[in-house]
Amino acid sequence: MSQNQGVTHGVQVTAEEPDMSLQAELGTCTLDPDGPVVAGAFGTWTITYTAGSAGIVPGGGIALVPPCVHSVRWRVGHITATSNGSCAVSVRVRNDYPLKYHHSQFPCIFVTVEGAALHPGEEISVTIGDAGSYISGFYERARAQEVAMAEMHFQVLVDVLGNASYSNPRYPGGDPKGYRLLPELPVVDVVAGPPARLGVVAPATVATGEEFSVLVRVEDAFGNVCTDFAGDIALRTQPGGISASAPLTLTASDGGTARAGPFSVARNAVGPVTVAAVAWDAGLSGVSNPIDVVAETSDRIFFGDLHTHAPGALSPSHRPHGPFMAHGVGTYAEAFRYARDVSGLDCVGVAWFPPPQNIESLWSVPRADDWEEYQEIIAQFHDPGRFAPLVAVELSDPTAGHRVILYPDAGKRVTTSKIEEIWPELAGTGAVVAPHHINVTSEGGYQNWRVQDWQRHNPQYQRVLEIAQNRGAFETDEPGGATVIGGGGASAQDALAMGHRLGFVGGTDSHHAQPGRNTCSMAGVDFHDHKTGGLTAVIAPELTREAIVQALKDRRCYATTGARIVLAFQVDGHGMGEEFTAAKREVAVTARVLGTAPLERLEVICNGSAVLSQSAAGRVATLAATLTLSEAQTSYLYLRATQSDGHVAWSSPIWATSLQR
């Protein structure tokens, strides 16, 4: 019998390979109701544990965790516990709400046996979301996770000896130490709810005379794809200048998503243009992101999630191995398929973790080194001109921060975690490096890290920084607006003030194999309360890995909190990422923004201060102004565009040096 040990919630946990003898010793459990659960549904669930041959001594008990994967979890509502044996039971819940720490803690229910032993065959029943015995609905019911996922486990762990609270890896205790995971666990599928809307994803830029398609998906109220939807969907463009497409017919075999088109752009068409979709019979509708119609010779804007994860290459299983949670869900293939066919991304970086620092080992059995499988799966999805999956590697130095390496080709297997050892490994690779969650720490726990150490910056490779992700934005050190966490002294503006010349990118950092989906609460930042998440807009001549990485190196990119906002920003005719010497102290600043919702404000930030603020109305806004630079110094300037729905876009900075006094 193999064992893996770990620590969580202050207790030691032993995970053991399931076998019949272990089940007979530890016992069994059932779930009622045990059928599929609709994502986001309120309800009451009862888990009944039947003691095995070992029973449970007074002071022992069980630990129960509703389905949780990374930062996806259930809300447990009011908890009650009873036993049909001669013992009494008490119940307590840890980390029920609010969520906090790096990956957000999850509710764990501890039931303790008191007064007498729980004998073999006797039961403990735990009800989550108990509505109360006197007034129906007095207590809040439990609520299922909002993200649809298959095979979600209710984890039940047993402390038969009553020694779990005193066991830790360095202290002699019972054998085996800690809580022991039951070999057979209740499993439910969390499925999408009824269709609520249509999602429409269009290219950000289209040239005159060019054909294009749009991605249409059917979503429930929480953004899950309704995979069994069937029906006709009509499409039209607003305004004219683009030919209409024939109605799209979705069948159940399409899985709730399909490409519609081709649309054709007339030579005299002007942007912005949107594509509207309507399923009349189902009462569903949706409108695409804005499409900017550009000249044939213009560069294009390609949207990507450049920092996201899936826990493994081959097996989709996320069965918990203890202690309590898995580091993520889904496979690399599922992540790339979701990025292409559901989120409609142009490029994506699903990061590979080197096994020596494989952080999944903190929560479950460490995976094997799957670099070769990772490479093969990326090759299967690589489709230049249509979809560019980037080879990405996350490296984490606890003393200097985390970063993702993005390669223009098949990349290099780098395993060192020490920042000074990373740079020699990247020589000749053409890679670009993006530091992420730059101004937040792990807040304790067993995976400590500090904020980004900008004193150990390497300008050759670190050409961009991740300004927005699921923990919120890291634009400023002082919280406000999209910046939720601050105070670490390592924000984007802190790095720029040190003279580092870095562009801005965005990513989700989710571990659900769902790139581009901004429904992940991290570090206590609840996506219901803040616009969290991130996307990168890359300005490049073509959709290839080489062109994407080169644009990142040139800082020809910008970041958003997840909305596909079209943004252009120039200073004296120079674009994002450029450095120039101004002929005089007065410089011309211009901007144009196409929003996904009504725009609220455009702001020009110069050396950390908003030197120009202009109110906006509608979904199109322009800005033209003259600013005076500081004397004999280099100034950085960037644009911050804020929508009425809270979404934000940040251009990469432009650096202007004034030699005139």
Residues 292 and 328 in one domain: no
Q: How far is CA 41 from the centre of its chain?
A: 22
Mean pLDDT of the region 324-332:
70
**Strand, coil or helix: what is 44?**
coil
Q: Report pLDDT for 599.
A: 97
**Strand, coil or helix: what is 225?**
strand
Residue that finishes a domain, picked among 298, 316, 338: 298
* DSSP one-letter code for 75: B
406: left (phi over 0), alpha (psi -120 to 50) or beta: beta
Q: Are 234 and 320 in contact (CB under 8 A)?
A: no
Beta bridge partners of 94: 108
Q: Report pLDDT for 278.
A: 95
Mean pLDDT of the region 76-100:
83
CATH number of the domain enclosing 162: 2.60.40.1510
The sign of the dihedral angle between the CA atoms of 419, 420, 421, 426 is: positive
Tokens of 398: 């606890």
Beta bridge partners of 622: 592
Residues 214 and 181 in one domain: no
Element (H, E) at 496: helix 492-497
Q: Which domain, by its residues, includes 657?
A: 565-661
pLDDT digits (tens, 9 = 90+) for 585-601: 899 999 999 999 999 99
Residues 485 and 556 in one domain: yes
Q: Are 493 and 477 in contact (CB under 8 A)?
A: yes
CATH number of the domain enclosing 651: 2.60.40.10
Q: Which residue, 224, 106, 118, is CA-closest to 154?
A: 106
Q: Are 506 and 534 in contact (CB under 8 A)?
A: yes
Mean pLDDT of the region 194-219:
94
CA distance 348 to 412: 17
pLDDT digits (tens, 9 = 90+) for 303-317: 999 999 987 765 554
Q: Mean pLDDT check: name the lowest of 23-27, 200-204, 226-230, 602-606.
A: 23-27
Q: At what angle do helices 371-381 and 332-341 cross, to 10 degrees?
A: 20
Element (H, E) at 316: none
Element (H, E) at 367: none
Q: Which residue, 566, 68, 149, is CA-closest to 327?
A: 68
Q: What is the largest CA-CA distance in the chain?
A: 89
Inform me whether the pLDDT recorded for 103 exceeds 90: no
**Phi then psi dihedrals of residue 512, to 5 deg:** -115, 10
Residues 570 and 646 in one domain: yes
**Phi then psi dihedrals of residue 341, to 5 deg:** -100, -15
Mean pLDDT of the region 316-334:
63
Residues 181 and 324 in one domain: no
Q: C-alpha distances in angstroms, 214 versus 72, 237, 275, 277?
A: 30, 11, 8, 10
Mean pLDDT of the region 234-256:
83
Residues 409 and 456 in one domain: yes
pLDDT digits (tens, 9 = 90+) for 455-487: 999 999 999 999 999 888 999 999 888 888 889
Instruction: Give the highest mean pLDDT range of 233-242, 254-263, 626-635.
Output: 254-263
Residue that finishes a domain, picked among 191, 221, 236: 191
pLDDT digits (tens, 9 = 90+) for 522-549: 766 777 777 888 999 999 999 999 999 9
Inform me whether the pLDDT recorded for 625 exceeds 50: yes
Q: Report pLDDT for 409.
A: 95
Inform me whether the pLDDT recorded for 338 exceeds 60: yes
Residues 388 and 510 in one domain: yes
> Is 444 buried (19+), middle (13-18) or exposed (0-12) by CB count in 10 A?
exposed
| Number of other residues whose CB lies within 10 A of the CB of residue 661 | 6
Residues 180 and 235 in one domain: no
Residue 118, amino acid: L
Count structural domains, the chain: 4
CA distance 422 to 131: 55
Beta bridge partners of 574: 571
pLDDT digits (tens, 9 = 90+) for 30-61: 999 999 999 999 999 999 999 999 999 999 99
pTM for the full model?
0.90
* Intra-chain end-to-end CA distance of the chain, in Å: 77
Residues 77 and 151 in one domain: yes
**What SS3 string covers 177-206?**
CCEEECCCCCEEEEECCCCCEEEEECCCEE
Residues 93 and 160 in one domain: yes
Q: Mean pLDDT check: name the lowest of 368-372, 426-430, 582-586.
A: 368-372
Average pLDDT value for the chain: 86
Specify the residue for token string 């603020």.
613
Inform me whether the pLDDT recorded for 364 exceeds 60: no
CA distance 512 to 310: 6
Q: Report pLDDT for 360.
A: 43
Q: Are 649 and 596 in contact (CB under 8 A)?
A: no
CA distance 62 to 37: 24
CA distance 265 to 255: 29
Residues 26 and 100 in one domain: yes
Residues 35 and 166 in one domain: yes
**What SS3 string covers 519-583?**
CCCECCECCCCCCCCCEEEEEECCCCHHHHHHHHHCCCEEEECCCCCEEEEEECCECCCCEEEEC
**Strand, coil or helix: what is 348?**
strand
CA distance 151 to 329: 10
pLDDT digits (tens, 9 = 90+) for 127-167: 999 887 666 667 778 999 999 998 888 989 899 988 775 43
Mean pLDDT of the region 364-388:
86
Q: Report pLDDT for 619.
A: 95
Q: C-alpha distances in angstroms, 392 versus 36, 79, 254, 351, 413?
A: 35, 43, 30, 5, 10
* Residues whose CB is less than 8 angstroms from the CB of residue 276 and which lie 6 or more positions away in sequence, other chains included: 200, 235, 236, 237, 238, 285, 286, 287, 288
Omega prior to 262 cis, within 30 of 0 = yes
Residue that finishes a domain, picked among 298, 325, 357: 298
Q: Are 440 and 485 in contact (CB under 8 A)?
A: yes
Q: Mean pLDDT check: name the lowest of 281-285, 287-291, 414-418, 424-428.
A: 414-418
Calculated CA dihedral for residues 28, 31, 34, 36, nearest 10 degrees: -110
Q: Report pLDDT for 661.
A: 59
CATH number of the domain enclosing 452: 3.20.20.140
